[in-house]
Homo-oligomer: A and B are copies of this chain.
Amino acid sequence: MSNAAGNDQQGENSPGPELTGRLGYLLKHALSRLSELNAEALTPHGITGRELAVLLVLAGREPASQQEAAGRLGIDRTTMVAFLDALERKGLVARRPDANDRRRNVVALTESGTDTLRLAVKASDDAQRRFLAPLTRTAGEQLKRSLYKLIATDDRRGD
Q: Hey, which bits of chain A sit against chain B, CB under 8 A?
A: 1-2, 4-6, 8-31, 33-35, 37-38, 40, 49, 53, 56-57, 59-61, 68, 70-75, 124, 128, 130-135, 139-140, 142-144, 146-154, 156-157, 159
Closest 9 CB pairs of A and B: A1-B24, A18-B60, A26-B147, A11-B74, A12-B71, A13-B71, A27-B31, A134-B153, A13-B72
Q: Are A149 and B134 in contact (CB under 8 A)?
A: yes
User: Per DSSP, are chain A's interface residues mostly helix, strand or loop, or mixed?
Assistant: helix
Q: Are A19 and B157 in contact (CB under 8 A)?
A: no
A152 to B30, CA, bound (A): 9
> Within the complex, what minimum Cβ distance (angstroms) separates A106 from chain B?
16
Quickly give the copy total for this chain: 2
Residues of B within 8 A of A132 (CB): 23, 150
Q: Are A31 and B33 in contact (CB under 8 A)?
A: no
Q: Are B4 and A6 in contact (CB under 8 A)?
A: yes
Residues of B within 8 A of A60 (CB): 16-19
Q: Are B151 and A146 in contact (CB under 8 A)?
A: no
**Candidates B20, B33, B146; contact of A142 at CB < 8 Å:** B146
A30 to B73, CA, bound (A): 15
**Candidates B124, B142, B144, B156; contact of A37 at CB < 8 Å:** B156
Q: Are B25 and A27 in contact (CB under 8 A)?
A: no
